[in-house]
Amino acid sequence: MGHLKMVQVELEEASRNLAELIARAASGEEIVIAQAGKAMARLISMGETEPESSKGEVEEILKEENEGDNSLMEEMLSAYEEEIH
* Whole-number average pLDDT of the chain: 77
3-state secondary structure of 13: helix
At residue 34, the pLDDT reads 94
Residue 75 confidence class, pLDDT cut points 50, 70, 90: confident
Per-residue DSSP letter, 4: S
In a domain, 74, yes or no: yes
pLDDT per position as a tens digit, 29-59: 999 999 999 999 989 888 754 555 566 666 6
Strand partners, 5: none
The number of domains in the chain is 1
In a domain, 36, yes or no: yes
Name the residue range of residue 65's domain: 6-84
In a domain, 11, yes or no: yes
At residue 76, the pLDDT reads 72
Q: 49 with 24: CB under 8 angstroms? A: no
In a domain, 1, yes or no: no
Residue 4 to residues 13, 25, 27, 45, Cα–Cα distance (Å): 21, 9, 8, 11
10 Å CB burial of residue 45 (0-12, 13-18, 19+) is: middle
In a domain, 62, yes or no: yes
In a domain, 58, yes or no: yes
Q: Which of these ranges, 19-23, 53-57, 74-78, has the smallest mean pLDDT?
A: 53-57
Contact residues for 42 (Cβ-Cβ < 8 A; gap 6+): 30, 31, 32, 33
pTM: 0.53
